[in-house]
Each structure stands twice: as structure tokens, then as C-alpha cells.
Chains A and B, each alone.
Chain A
Amino acid sequence: MHLDHSHHGPAAVGADARRADGSRRALRIGLGGPVGSGKTATVAALCRALRDELSLAVVTNDIYTREDAEFLLREAVLPPERITAVETGACPHTAIRDDISANLEAVEDLEDEVGPLDLILVESGGDNLTATFSKGLVDAQVFVIDVAGGDDIPRKGGPGVTTADLLVVNKTDLAPYVGSDLARMAADAKAQRAELPVVFQSLRGEAGVADVAAWVRARIAAWTA
């Protein structure tokens, strides 16, 4: 990590762990994954689980609407000033990987306007299996897939499934109805990811987002240690 404290004015390097005034910036966690896999629902559940213990904010990257931001606003998971939408010009992966400037601006503006923050969740627009976040934008990334998208996705791999810091297999409650084999998905994910963690979750179940929230808490503890 780049730790240059010497520059003045607005930070020029997104990965700086310190803000221009020398304080530690918020941990940034990206959530990516295919359309409809449950990224926004997971973000909403994380906000509900963590908002009483952490100061947090969300950046959404809608592809052509403000739908995701508006869902979060409607669900009132956070006060509106803590939710920002970035427009991505028909290319959601560009905005989180190749040209992260608009997203960096959004996370920095959130810290300036509603900070200090402990955590900023950056939700990607729904994309394909190759979409990953730049390390210049986020400190860790979660890739969200679901059982209804086909139980062969972990086997197919790709940068999201293989390299994300956490893989979430969502909507496990649907597995019997769509004929997905959870044991096979777990074995394939293990083969692709070795020691990297995988969470199987159903947001409709009792545990809900608890495992992912626990993983986030551990990242926060490591970041502030």
C-alpha cells in the first residue's frame, strides 16, 4: 500500500491509506457480480447489520438508472446523504477497474461530507464473470453469484470467482427449485479458490447476512489495527 503523507491538497493516489489531513480513511469494500445475483440486497442487509456499530456509506454504480441507489433509499437502510450513485457510461467494469476516477471522487466526497467513516461499500453495476475492482479503488472485494444463475459458475471460474477476497453464493433457498447442487458448487469453489473464503447464504433464512457481516468486521479490525 502506498503511504505517502507528504502531498498537500486533494489526494492524487486512490490507494493512499491516509487522507490529506493525515487521518485514516475508511475501509473500502467492493461488491461485484452478475446482474440479479443479489448485490444490492446484500448491501442493504449489511447496512442493517452494521449501521449501529460502524459509520458507513454506500456508492452504487447503476448501469443506466438510479434503481439500486433508489432501492437503498426506499428501504431506508442509511440516511440519504450516505448513499451516492455513480454513472458509468454503459461500461460498469470500466468504472470500477480501468478508469476509477468517478468512483474515487464519490468515496472521497462521502468522507468529506458525512465523515468520519469506518466503511464504504462500493457496489458495482451488474456485469459478467470477469469484472473485478481495481486495488486503487477498494481494499477488498466480494463477488456475489447465486445458485439460480447456474451451479456451474464456480467451475467456470474467471477473475471474480477465482480472486475475490470473499465469494458469496447467494439464494441457497432456491437450490432445490432450480436443480442446483450446492455440494458441487462448494467443491468447485474450493478447487478454484484454495484457501480464499466462500459463504453460502440465503437472505431469507434466519442467519441472513451474518457470515458476510462477520467477514466485514474482521476486515475492519485488520484495517484499524
Chain B
Amino acid sequence: MTRAALLVLADGRFPAGGHAHSGGAEEAVKAGRITGVTGLEAFLRGRLHTAGVVTAALAAAAAAGADPAELDAAADARTPSPALRLTARKLGRQLMRAARATWPSAELDALAGEFPAGAHQPVVLGLTARAAGLGAADAAYCAVYESVSGPATAVVRLLGLDPFAATGVLARLAPELDRVVDRAVSCGTAAPTQGVDVLPAASAPLLEIGAEVHAGWPVRLFAS
């Protein structure tokens, strides 16, 4: 394995479709819940400890060798909003394409064959980490970082927020990211032997409701 592979996978420019999504930030901005740096930090913290920890645990479990189809069903069960389930599968399909082109692997091929319309993105992310020779913690780090960096970038675009201030928010959250990764890895690595019920099921009702509202807008900048 190579540590540098982690940088390739975690790079915001990794071409897997994420740039067109705001992780709920566009709806939160329109609703007035994010108006500046303080609101962004609160939004990201909430996202990190709900959607972030769930996706990180799913990714860690997939990287640790849990059954991808069971993880995909577990992801469905943890995503009440149909719009968010659709988004997670679209992004899973897009990541799958980039992953198979970047780190060819029989496991990725098998998952692509089983889920032609896309498996949940964190499941694909975990298998991608495996294909890249990375471990469960690496997969979890990619997932938690994505869960906050994508919305932060989106808010910079949506509000014209100072990009240095937005990056400062991410840096301040870094110790919390470490703790979320620890929890995700301890659940995720238990999943292959103890089953998917050990995975966290934290949920943010406003993110789920906001995703449904956003999906109905006729005019928007981001796909989700």
C-alpha cells in the first residue's frame, strides 16, 4: 500500500461527481440557516455527527470487508429521504466509474455488476479504498472529510463567503473529525463479524426534509 493513494482518493478534484452537490447547504442557505461563517460551522458540525459518522462507518465497514450488499441495505435503512437515497446512488455510480478506471479491482467490478444504477456512495468509497490498498481508517477519513468539505465549498460559492474563513472552519473541526473517525472505525471494523446493526444510525431530520424540499426546486445551483 501507499500513503499517497489516500491523497489521490481524498482530493476534492478526484473526478467522482461531488462538485455538483452541496450536501444540503444550498437549501440551508436559502432557508436562512446559514448566513455566514458561524452558521456554516454549526451546519458542518451537525452534518459531521449525523450523516458524517454514518457514511464514515459504512465506508470503514466496506473497507474492512463487510458484505457490500448488506451495507447497501443498511445505508438505505439509514436514509429516510428518497431524494437523498437517489443522490447517494448517483454519486456511488459516479465514484464507481472513477474508481474502476483508477484502481481496477474484481471487487469493484462485482459491485458494479450487482448495482448497475449505483450502490450507496460510502459503500463504493470503502471498496475503492480497499482497491487502492488503503484501510478502514483511511476510508472513514475520506468519508468524514467529504461530509464537511463539499458543503463548505458550496457555501463559499453560494454566499461569496471568504474562502480563508471557510477553510479555517474546516481546520477548527479537524479534532472532531478525528474523534468521529475513531468511532466509525470501531463500529465499521466490527461489522464483518457482528453484522451491520453495529453501525451508527444517527440522523438529522432537517437534512432529510431539506433534501426533499431542494429536490422540488425548479431553479438551483447544486444537484443536491
Which residues of A line the B interface, CB within 8 A? 7-10, 12-14, 63-66, 87-91, 94-95, 98-102, 104-105
- B100 interface residue (CB < 8 Å to A): yes
Stretch of B1-9, B90-98, B199-207 with 4 or more beta carbons under 8 angstroms from chain A? B90-98
Complex Cα–Cα for A128 and B220 (A): 21
Collect the chain B residues with CB atoms within 8 Å of residue A100's CB.
15
Q: List 22 A-B contacts (CB under 8 A).
A: A8-B109, A10-B96, A12-B97, A64-B219, A65-B219, A66-B218, A87-B20, A87-B222, A89-B20, A89-B21, A89-B154, A90-B154, A90-B157, A95-B20, A98-B15, A99-B18, A99-B19, A101-B17, A102-B90, A102-B94, A105-B93, A105-B97
Collect the chain A residues with CB atoms within 8 Å of residue B20's CB.
87-89, 91, 94-95, 102
From A7, A65, A101, contact of B218 by CB (8 A): A65
- B13 interface residue (CB < 8 Å to A): yes
CB distance from B193 to the nearest CB of A (A): 29
A89 and chain B: residue at smallest CB distance: B20
Cβ contact within 8 Å between A98 and B13: yes
Cβ contact within 8 Å between A101 and B21: no
Collect the chain A residues with CB atoms within 8 Å of residue B112's CB.
9-10, 12
Complex Cα–Cα for A87 and B94 (A): 14
Collect the chain B residues with CB atoms within 8 Å of residue A65's CB.
218-219
Cβ proximity bits B206-223 to A, threshold 8 Å, 1 near / 0 not? 000000000000111111
CB distance from A33 to the nearest CB of B (A): 21
- B16 interface residue (CB < 8 Å to A): yes
Cβ proximity bits B149-193 to A, threshold 8 Å, 1 near / 0 not? 000001001100000000000000000000000000000000000
Cβ contact within 8 Å between B218 and A99: no
- B31 interface residue (CB < 8 Å to A): no
The interface on chain B, measured as residues whose beta carbon lies within 8 A of the other chain's beta carbons, has a size of: 31
Collect the chain B residues with CB atoms within 8 Å of residue A95's CB.
19-20
CB distance from B222 to the nearest CB of A (A): 5
- B55 interface residue (CB < 8 Å to A): no
Cβ contact within 8 Å between B15 and A87: no
From B15, B101, B113, contact of A99 by CB (8 A): B15
Complex Cα–Cα for A63 and B93 (A): 22
A13 and chain B: residue at smallest CB distance: B101
Collect the chain A residues with CB atoms within 8 Å of residue B90's CB.
102, 105
Binding site of B, secondary structure by majority: helix, strand, loop or mixed? helix
CB distance from A148 to the nearest CB of B (A): 26
Complex Cα–Cα for A92 and B135 (A): 34
From B101, B154, B218, contact of A12 by CB (8 A): B101
Q: Which of B86-136 contact A (CB under 8 A)?
A: 90, 93-94, 96-98, 100-101, 104, 109, 112-113, 116
B99 and chain A: residue at smallest CB distance: A12
Collect the chain A residues with CB atoms within 8 Å of residue B94's CB.
101-102, 105
Cβ contact within 8 Å between A101 and B113: no
CB distance from A113 to the nearest CB of B (A): 12
Complex Cα–Cα for A63 and B220 (A): 8
Complex Cα–Cα for A104 and B96 (A): 12
Chain B CB count within 10 A is highest, among A10, A99, A101, for A101
CB distance from B221 to the nearest CB of A (A): 5
Beyond A9-B109, A9-B113, A89-B22, whether A101 also contacts B221 by CB under 8 A is no
Complex Cα–Cα for A64 and B20 (A): 11
Cβ proximity bits B1-39 to A, threshold 8 Å, 1 near / 0 not? 000000000000101111111100000000000000000
From B16, B98, B221, contact of A89 by CB (8 A): B221
Collect the chain A residues with CB atoms within 8 Å of residue B157's CB.
90
Complex Cα–Cα for A98 and B84 (A): 25
Collect the chain B residues with CB atoms within 8 Å of residue A13's CB.
101
Complex Cα–Cα for A82 and B191 (A): 44
Collect the chain B residues with CB atoms within 8 Å of residue A104's CB.
97
